[in-house]
Amino acid sequence: MRKSSITEEKIIGILKQAEAGMTVAPLCRQHEMSDATFYKWRSKYGGMDVSEARRLRGLEEENQRLKRLVAEQALDIQVLKEVLGKNGGSPPNAAWPCVMPSMCMVIQSGGPVS
């Protein structure tokens, strides 16, 4: 997704201008943006302060990072299941090279590694 070059401060300022009584069409022309962008911002940032908008951005970034982490772990689990399925379901041993050592330690110990 393309990142906006407009900061949260500017977005909040534009929304406050609209709240102060300026109509949407001239406001959008003045800031060279579409009406759809204005309404999208209003639904996302309407009624927020700048600090709240920054916090929202930080939470969204953290959420994306956590989603990537979960996806990577799901792939790791899938690979382990496939490898264990090919090996007859027996736990890894010295004769069987482990693809992901940290996950093999979990399997060998029977629980999470601390």
Q: How far are the Cα atoms of 13, 23, 103, 112 from residue 18, in angstroms, in the given order?
A: 9, 6, 54, 54
Residue 113 has pLDDT above 90, yes or no: no
State percent of the chain over pLDDT 90.
52
pLDDT of 96 over the 60 cut: no
Q: Using N-to-C axis directions, what is the helix angle for 35-45 and 8-19, rounded to 10°?
A: 100
- Give the residue among 74, 61, 7, 18 at the shortest CA–CA distance from 43: 18
Q: What is the pTM of this model?
A: 0.56
Question: What is the pLDDT, as a whole number, of residue 24?
Answer: 93
Give dist(CA 43, CA 81) in Å, integer.
43
Residue 83 confidence (pLDDT): 86
Decide: 37 and 5 in contact? Cβ < 8 Å: no
> Which letter does DSSP use for residue 31 in this model?
T
pLDDT of amino acid 8: 87
Residue 110, burial from CB neighbour count under 10 angstroms (0-12, 13-18, 19+): exposed
